[in-house]
Structure 1
Amino acid sequence: MTITQPDLSVFETLESEVRSYCRGWPTVFDRAQGSRMYDEDGHEYLDFFAGAGSLNYGHNNPVLKRALIDYIERDGVTHGLDMSTTAKRAFLETFQNVILRPRDLPYKVMFPGPTGTNAVESALKLARKVKGRESIVSFTNAFHGMSLGSLAVTGNAFKRAGAGIPLVHGTPMPFDNYLDGRTPDFIWFERLLEDSGSGLNTPAAVIVETVQGEGGINVARAEWLRKLADVCERWDMLLIVDDIQMGCGRTGAFFSFEEAGITPDIVTVSKSISGYGLPMSLCLFKPELDVWEPGEHNGTFRGNNPAFVTAAAALETYWTDGPAMEKQTRARGEQIEEALTSIVEENRPAIKEWRGRGMVWGVEFHDKDRASAVAKRAFELGLLIETSGPEGEVVKLLPALTITPDELDEGLRTLARAVRESA
């Protein structure tokens, strides 16, 4: 692909140096549809990024777009704080009937601010309020957000350093297979809990991702998650599952913890819950935990009604027949796994490991700079992929759940070429 030098002057002179994704993809995007993005010069890119998991149903999904346009054209409420609106009612009823009841999940629904990190902040705050304790246990290589409470339970040293102040009341424990299977699960955690001299204050809660996306696509075994739920129950700690990136069908089932057969006390959801890339997040919790005072946790944009509209449409369209959606995602996941097997065989000396679940996969390279080189070459070839892991050593695949088999095959062939040509 021949790319003319785009006009980036206003971004480079006016926008903060904090910008990141645009540095890896140095073009000016203009429109997008499905799994394709187009820059202002008409170049086409196949999207294996999907808005960092916010676009599970693709860009400008026509069903969701129609629902949104109809709502706006009839002057539906846009901004409503936590006022009752017809859009919110429609979403809540759909969420209850399509998602919660079929799974026998009793959760109350809270709308915090519209970002994932705000959902996590509300979960941590609620856990501390319920248990009357301040300590939270998280896991190595976790990522839970960029605000201070979320950073305190995030593992990445670079992101943590950005806080500028001590990050307290969080204690990391080894994630599944962090110690390469050399020790029994949770032996260190439970020993600290048992020993009054360990220095670990009894935690209010444990927060975990079933698949660590930003941490490098580290997949927790269902057995490990069940053991964690058991530890939390025996030691009177709440279990919080951060399903912000892995929820909404990314791993197959709507919630990523379903396969493990556990029912977390609190679940955070964001990214693809709106279905259209509109800001929206949920904090779900068991009814007995609903000890909030009115207004105790709020936010001006927690009532994003256009997001409620597209969220309800997404649930009705893709999850009324949940098994069909799960089956499709698992089939696409098998297609990815088969292609990655070939890529690994072709480049075995360079590749340390590959792993994933559903439609989230990662390829880890021995040379920690190789992943960035692969992503750069992929962009030149018309494929958008990002890197993850503590040192950016993992190429991360996060295509839309609605991508066609042909588009998926096209992107995987481009990835294989990018790996070859980045050596």
Structure 2
Amino acid sequence: MTITQPDLSVFETLESEVRSYCRGWPTVFDRAQGSRMFDEDGHEYLDFFAGAGSLNYGHNNPVLKRALIDYIERDGVTHGLDMSTTAKRAFLETFQNVILRPRDLPYKVMFPGPTGTNAVESALKLARKVKGRESIVSFTNAFHGMSLGSLAVTGNAFKRAGAGIPLVHGTPMPFDNYLDGRTPDFIWFERLLEDSGSGLNQPAAVIVETVQGEGGINVARAEWLRQLADVCKRWDMLLIVDDIQMGCGRTGPFFSFEEAGIVPDIVTVSKSISGYGLPMSLCLFKPELDVWEPGEHNGTFRGNNPAFVTAAAALETYWADGSAMEKQTQARGEQIEQALVAIADENGDAIVEYRGRGLVWGIEFRDKPRAGAIAKRAFELGLLIETSGPESEVVKLLPALTITAEELDEGLRTLARAVRETA
């Protein structure tokens, strides 16, 4: 692909140096549809990024777009704080009937604000209020958001350093396979809990991602998650599952913890819950944990009614018929895995490991900077992929759940070429 130099002057002059994705993809995007994005010069890109998991149903999904346009055209409420609206009622009823009730999940629903970190902050705050304790346990290589409470349970040193103040009341424990299987699961955690001289304050809760996206596509085994749930139950700690990136069908089932057969006390959901890339997040919790006083946790944008509209449409369209979406995601995941097997065979010792579930996969490279070089070459070839992991050593694949088998094959061929050409 020949790419002319785009005019980036206004971004470079006026926008903060904090911008990041645009540095890896130096073009000006203009429109998008499905799994394709187009820049202002008409160049086409196949999207294996999906808004960092916010666009599970693709760009400008026509069903969701129609629902949104109809709502706006009839002057539906756009901003409503936490007032009762017809859009919120339709979403809550759909969420209960399509998602919660079929899974026998009794959760109350809280709208804590527009972003994932808002949901995490509310979950931590609620856990501390319920248990009357301050300490939260998280895991190595975790990522839970960029606000202070979320950063305190995030592992990445670069992101933590940006806080500028001590990040307290959080204690990291080894994630599944962090010690390469040399130590029995949770032996260190439980030893600290049972020893009054360990220095670990009794935690209010444990927060975990079933698949660590930003941490490098680290996949927790179902048995590990079940053991964690058991530890939490025996030691009177709440279990919080952060399903912000891995929920809404990303790993196959609607919730990523379903495969493990656990029922977390609290679940955070965001990114693709609106289905259309509109800001929206949920904090779900068991009814007995609903100890909030009215207005005790609030925010101006916790009632995004256009997001309620597209969210309800997404649930009705893709999840009301049971397991069809899950089966399609699993089939696409198997397609990716087969391609990664071939890439690994071709590249031998250059690849440490490939891993994933459903439609989230990662390839870890022994030469850590190579992952970034592959992402750069993929962009030049018309494919959008990002990197993850503590040293950006993992090429991360996050295509839309609605991607076709043909589009997926096209992107995987491009990825294989990018790997080959950066050897």
TM-score under structure 2 normalisation? 1.00
The aligned residue for residue 82 of structure 1 is: 82
The aligned residue for residue 364 of structure 2 is: 364
Deviates more, 1:345-354 or 1:301-310: 345-354
2:219, 2:99 → 1: CA distance? 24
Residue 59 (structure 1) shift = 0.1
2:355, 2:329 → 1: CA distance? 16
Superposed CA RMSD in Å reads 0.3
2:385, 2:38 → 1: CA distance? 15
2:120, 2:246 → 1: CA distance? 14
Describe the SS at the equivalent of 1:347. Answer: helix
1:326, 1:238 → 2: CA distance? 28
Residue 409 (structure 1) shift = 0.1
Residue 321 (structure 1) shift = 1.4
Residue 223 (structure 1) shift = 0.1
Task: Deviation per CA, 1:93-152: give whole Å up to 9, x if none.
Answer: 000000000000000000001100000000000000000000000000000000000000
Task: Deviation per CA, 1:174-220: give whole Å up to 9, x if none.
Answer: 00000000011000000000000000000000000000000000000
Task: Deviation per CA, 1:244-298: give whole Å up to 9, x if none.
Answer: 0000000000000000000000000000000000000000000000000000000
Residue 17 (structure 1) shift = 0.1
Describe the SS at the equivalent of 1:137. Answer: strand
1:264, 1:206 → 2: CA distance? 10
Task: Deviation per CA, 1:16-74: give whole Å up to 9, x if none.
Answer: 00000000000000000000000000000000000000000000000000000000000
1:205, 1:182 → 2: CA distance? 26
Residue 348 (structure 1) shift = 1.3
1:250, 1:348 → 2: CA distance? 29
1:322, 1:192 → 2: CA distance? 43
1:148, 1:186 → 2: CA distance? 27
1:47, 1:77 → 2: CA distance? 32
1:113, 1:274 → 2: CA distance? 13
The aligned residue for residue 100 of structure 1 is: 100
Residue 322 (structure 1) shift = 2.6
Listed as ranges, the matches of 1:50-65 within 5 Å are 50-65=50-65
Task: Deviation per CA, 1:207-241: give whole Å up to 9, x if none.
Answer: 00000000000000000000000000000000000
The aligned residue for residue 240 of structure 1 is: 240
1:187, 1:51 → 2: CA distance? 38
1:232, 1:42 → 2: CA distance? 53
1:95, 1:322 → 2: CA distance? 13
Residue 92 (structure 1) shift = 0.1
Residue 387 (structure 1) shift = 0.1
Task: Deviation per CA, 1:389-422: give whole Å up to 9, x if none.
Answer: 0000000000000000000000000000000011
Task: Deviation per CA, 1:349-388: give whole Å up to 9, x if none.
Answer: 2111110000000000001100000000000000000000
The aligned residue for residue 269 of structure 1 is: 269
1:186, 1:321 → 2: CA distance? 39
1:126, 1:196 → 2: CA distance? 26
1:348, 1:56 → 2: CA distance? 32
1:71, 1:26 → 2: CA distance? 35
1:385, 1:368 → 2: CA distance? 16
Describe the SS at the equivalent of 1:184. Answer: coil
Task: Deviation per CA, 1:153-194: give whole Å up to 9, x if none.
Answer: 000000000000000000000000000000110000000000
Deviates more, 1:357-366 or 1:321-330: 321-330
2:322, 2:341 → 1: CA distance? 29
2:151, 2:366 → 1: CA distance? 28
Describe the SS at the equivalent of 2:105. Answer: coil
Q: Where in structure 1 do 4 or more consecutive aligned residues deviate above 4 Å? A: none
2:322, 2:328 → 1: CA distance? 10
2:421, 2:90 → 1: CA distance? 50
The aligned residue for residue 2 of structure 2 is: 2
1:348, 1:96 → 2: CA distance? 48
Describe the SS at the equivalent of 1:46. Answer: strand
Describe the SS at the equivalent of 2:300. Answer: coil
In structure 1, list runs of 5 or more residues that go unmatched.
Answer: none
1:348, 1:162 → 2: CA distance? 37
1:178, 1:115 → 2: CA distance? 29
Identity of aligned residues (%): 93
1:403, 1:344 → 2: CA distance? 23
1:422, 1:373 → 2: CA distance? 7
Deviates more, 1:349-358 or 1:269-278: 349-358
1:325, 1:405 → 2: CA distance? 14
1:38, 1:347 → 2: CA distance? 31
Q: How many residues align?
A: 423
Deviates more, 1:278-287 or 1:347-356: 347-356
Describe the SS at the equivalent of 1:361. Answer: strand
Task: Deviation per CA, 1:314-341: give whole Å up to 9, x if none.
Answer: 0000000131111000000000000000
2:321, 2:418 → 1: CA distance? 37
Describe the SS at the equivalent of 2:323. Answer: helix
Residue 312 (structure 1) shift = 0.0
1:349, 1:212 → 2: CA distance? 24
2:322, 2:395 → 1: CA distance? 29
Describe the SS at the equivalent of 2:98. Answer: helix
2:385, 2:80 → 1: CA distance? 36
The aligned residue for residue 406 of structure 2 is: 406
